[in-house]
Structure 1
Amino acid sequence: MSQAAETLLIDEPAPHVRRLTLNRPEKRNALSNELRTRVFSALEAADRDREVRVTILRGAGDCFSAGYDLGGGAGPPYPFHTAGGAGNWARHVVEGCFRVWDLAKPVIAQVHGWCLAGGSELATACDLVYVAEDAKIGYPPVRMMSPPDNQFHPWLCGLRPAMEMMLTGDAIDGIEAVRVGFANRAFPAERLEAEVLAMAERVAKIPTDVQQMNKRSVHRAMEIMGLRAAIRAGTEIQALALTTESSRETFARFREGVSKALDARDGAFGDYRTRR
């Protein structure tokens, strides 16, 4: 296994298959901008490498990713430039997701444990998503801050499941994630890695010049139905939400301490870090 940096591990577990491992297990693989920069760079490098046909993205330790690094790692510099002004962060996140979307080669998310907030957005950007049955996938910031940066929920999950997730911030398990359309398939946690690798090997049997057209054909159909425009429009709603009184109060709590702010957000629900 080679190491691009201690925060991102890179290996090639099978012919034509590259695997990226988010490697901040002590931080539940929180997505700092340093880590995000390395992920985008590694994905783009794989897209240029003629020997690679598919990339797997997974997390080290007990989860995929608990979201963006709220402890100070989400500030500038960002991995790439997007226009400044109100809504810059949400626009930047969406641009990042579409960067993955627009790669020639398929990217597979291997999700176990927590897959929350920005972690769920990163998984959503991938072309295929396979999850552990006991994974926990959710977007808890809707409870006190704003709708997501990348508002994929209605497109992947449909109206009713999307509305329930947006109005509660509750997490769903891997089995439910498959039922509502967030993920392709769910497996027992101990089988997840082997099953994902087997699928990656099947995907890698098809040459890239054909596969990129296969991938693009599905994406173009979704774009014609309005997915790209709707998700971009959602960044403006997210920016507006950050001006609300509740959102400003939440950010004030974060300045006092991340743990205190998360406890205040989730305490009434009795889940996530407040679950006993």
Structure 2
Amino acid sequence: MSAPLRTETADGVRSIVLSRPDEYNTITPQLRDALSAAIDEADADPEVRVMLLRAEGPAFCAGYGLGWSTELQAQEQSNDRGWDSVADMRLLSTFVDTYLKLWYAAKPTIAAVHGWCIAGGTDMVLCADIVVAADNAVFGYPPSRVWGTPTTAMWVYRLGFERAKRYLLTGDEIPARTAADIGLVLEAVPEEKLLDHAFGLAKRMAMVPANQLQMLKLLCNQTAENMGLSSSRTLGTLFDGVARHTQEGRDFVRRVSEAGVRQAVRERDDPFGDYGSRPRAQ
């Protein structure tokens, strides 16, 4: 199995690069553990002032790997015991706590996003302090249609109530330009300029003394904490487990087992005509 990520350092910037391009950098327990360690290492390194999260391949992150995650639930459903909500939340929290390291790291974190960044990928990337998107990026939370809720709850804090509800209550995809216009991300730039632009911003931040960066980040983040971020993400993590164990959620897992991930997802999204179910050009 290839390494889920790699790191490199230049000009005070630690790049953390998701490196499973053939799998669209989907989230696995191995990626969780590697990302957690990479953030901790960068935060502790005195030579690093800023972290830059980016990805190789056609997509930044297409969410959780549905193969391993639906198989895990299918195994759970086949035994005689009922769903253990506490055990489920403890397991999911190991992923959520990793994403939140981008938020709680003392040093600024920037994400450079291209291609798909959907479902669990948004749980991860919206924890970064700043998100810069290529103009080909697409965001969204399609599991809100069945089998999930956003765990880190960053949508409301970035978008406000109405816009967060508009996109979460439909699961609709959000093109990069729209994402920038509504404040989900900072800006959208041409794809060919994304890495230079994001690295340039990170390098510019790295010129500021480390203590200044850390104080200013904490000052800004504290506003969200005072608004109840901790309780929101607790509820989001719990509700994600509930959503996966509703009758509709269980039916989705059963359909994945019968027809495969691609077909089950297509059947979920066909009525909306987006993501992989967008009508083909004639």
Q: Above 0.5 in TM-score? A: yes
2:71 and 2:225 map into 1 onto residues whose CA distance is 31
Cα distance in 1, alignment partners of residues 64 and 116 from structure 2: 12
Contact 1:33–1:73 under 8 Å retained in 2:
no
Residue 195 (structure 2) pairs with residue 198 (structure 1): no
The farther-off stretch of 154-163 and 233-242 is 233-242
Partners of 2:98 and 2:70 in 1: how far apart? Answer: 14
The residue type equivalent to 1:186 in the other structure is A
Q: CA separation of 1:151/1:249 partners in 2, compared to 1, >3 Å: closer, same or farther? A: same
Deviation of 1:63 (Å): 1.4
Q: Of 30, 34, 39, which residue of structure 1 is paired with 2:26?
A: 30
* Equivalence for 1:269: 272
Unaligned runs of 5+ in 2: 73-84
- CA offset at residue 131 of structure 1? 0.5
Correspondences of 1:109-128 after superposition (within 5 Å)? 109-128=111-130
Cα distance in 2 for partners of 1:89, 1:130 equals: 30
Q: Does 1:60 align with 2:56?
A: yes
> Contact conserved, 1:132 with 1:174, CA < 8 A, in 2?
yes
Q: Structure 1: which 4+ aligned runs deviate by more than 6 Å?
A: 73-76
Q: Distance in 2 between matches of 1:74 and 1:60?
A: 25
* Cα displacement (A) at 1:172: 0.6
Task: Looking at secondary structure, tell me which structure has more helix per residue.
Answer: 2
For 2:68, what is the secondary structure of its paired residue? coil
- Distance in 2 (alpha carbons) for counterparts of 1:237 and 1:144: 12
**What do you get for the CA RMSD once the two structures are aligned?**
2.0
Shift of 1:90: 4.0
Which deviations, in whole Å up to 9, do the C-alpha atoms of 1:144-179 show, x marking residues without a partner?
223222222221111221111112111111111112
> 2:104, 2:88 → 1: CA distance?
25
Q: CA deviation at 1:68?
A: 1.0
1:133 maps to 2:135: yes
Counterpart amino acid of 1:45? E
Give the SS at the match of 2:37: helix
Query: Is the counterpart of residue 45 in structure 1 residue 34 in structure 2?
Result: no
| In 2, Cα distance between equivalents of 1:36 and 1:86 | 16
Aligned residues between the structures: 265
| C-alpha separation in 2, matches of 1:73 and 1:142 | 16
Q: Return the TM-score normalized by structure 2.
A: 0.88
Deviation at 1:75, TM superposition (A): 8.2
Q: Does 1:69 align with 2:65?
A: yes
In 1, the alpha carbon distance for the partners of 2:69 and 2:148 equals 20
TM-superposed CA distance for 1:215, in Å, is 0.8
Normalised TM-score (structure 1): 0.89
CA contact (8 A) 2:26 2:63 kept: yes
For residues 46-105 of structure 1, what are the alpha-carbon distances to aligned partners after superposition, in whole Å with 9 as ceiling and x for unaligned? Answer: 1111111111111101111111111227889xxxxxx95243344333322322211111
* 2:59/2:117 contact within 8 Å kept: yes
Over 3 Å counting, the alpha-carbon distance change for 1:153 and 1:91 in structure 2 is: same
Tell me what 1:164 maps to. 166
Residue equivalent to 1:179: 181
Partner of 1:105: 107
- In structure 2, the partner of 1:8 is 5
Report sequence identity in percent: 35
Distance 1:204 1:11 in 2: 15
